[in-house]
Amino acid sequence: MPAALHPTTRDSLFASTRWTVVREAADSQTSSKHALSALSDLCQIYWRPVYLFLRRQGIAQHDAEDLTQGFFADLIENRAYARADPMKGRFRSFLLGTLKHFLAHTRDRDCAQKRGGVLVRLDEAGISKAETYSARCQNQSPDGVFEREWAGSVARQALDRLAQEYELAGKGTLFEALKLHLTAGATAAVPYEEMAKRLGRLAATLRVDVARLRARYRAILREEVSGTVLDPRDVDEELRYLREAMAT
């Protein structure tokens, strides 16, 4: 079963080329369906930084929601990504730059808000959490908020994918029990022995399970980050940048 030993998943292939695909499409006259799909996926993952940046700019909640939609619509319809600086090579920096440009040059915000329809799904729970945070971050810079939210979005996407994989494998319950260990490492709040009793598994097996969980999460996280940079060698640098952003 060689494929199981060296899993090359469709997700990994796709994620590693998302931003590359979009950038390549920018060089041609028309955008391919694939490129638009990759861009839509990226927008769906990273709407929170955009939304909270707008909120931090003092834009009211409902207007920020509409403007977030309008911004992504403009991005796709006007092929704004064709103007991205290839030297910078980060989707994160491109999106922030384009967002600032959009705000500065969109005089008629009403019109911008209504254009394009719904391209990105802003879920209610997400808006609610973003609003709670928005109230807390009034003393932080909009750029800082954007970057920390970006880091949070990368982690969220990786965890969502991991959860889906476990669910598919019939290990949803196990995932729910073990995901705590991702952030807590060896200092888990719930001892393995106790968890073993609760889950009916051997403690030794649970240690293996946690090791596996961390390994898989690591791989997915790096795939996701690699989807936002042009050169895969930049993944470590981008992760470090985000870690620093969290510390500031």
Task: State which of positions 68-97 bind another protein (CB under 8 A).
Answer: none
Q: Which is nearer to another protein, 111 or 246 (CB)?
A: 246
Burial class (CB in 10 A: 0-12, 13-18, 19+), 206: buried
3-state secondary structure at position 90 = strand
Please give the residues from 131 up to 150 whose contact with another protein meets the rule CB under 8 A.
132-134, 136, 148-149
CA distances from 89 to 92, 201, 226, 228, 242 (A): 9, 46, 11, 8, 15
Using CB under 8 A as the binding rule, whether residue 151 contacts another protein is answered as yes
- How big is the site for another protein, counted in residues (CB under 8 A)? 76
Least distance CB 211 / another protein (angstroms): 5
* Residue type at position 30: T
Closest separation in Å from C-beta 198 to another protein: 6
Looking at 63, 93, 152, 234, which residue binds another protein (CB under 8 A)? 152
Interface segment toward another protein; rule CB under 8 A; list 19-27, 78-86, 95-103, 211-219: 211-219
Q: In the window 6-25, what residues touch another protein (CB under 8 A)?
A: 7-11
Calpha distance 161→183 (Å, rounded): 17
Contact call for residues 106 and 112 (beta carbons, < 8 A): yes
Element (H, E) at 248: none
Could you tell me the sign of the dihedral formed by the alpha carbons of 63, 66, 69, 74, in that order?
Answer: negative
Query: Residue 79, SS3?
Result: coil
- Residue reference for tokens 């991205």: 84
C-beta of 3: minimal distance to another protein in Å?
4
Q: Are 203 and 192 in contact (CB under 8 A)?
A: yes
Q: Name which of 118 and 125 has its Cβ closer to another protein.
A: 125
Q: Any contact of residue 119 with another protein (CB under 8 A)?
A: no
Which of residues 25, 45, 225, 229 is near another protein by CB under 8 A?
225
| CB 88 to another protein: min, Å | 21
The C-alpha atoms of residue 248 and residue 241 are separated, in whole angstroms, by 11
State which of residues 62, 88, 101, 197 lies at the interface with another protein (CB under 8 A). 197
Among 22, 50, 59, 174, which residue sits at the site for another protein (rule: CB under 8 A)?
174
Under rule CB under 8 A, residue 194 binds another protein: no
If the CB atoms of residues 43 and 174 are measured against another protein, the closer one turns out to be 174
Does residue 172 contact residue 163 with C-beta atoms inside 8 Å?
Answer: yes
CB 65 within 8 A of CB 113: no
Out of 110, 193, 194, 236, which residue is the one contacting another protein (CB under 8 A)? 236
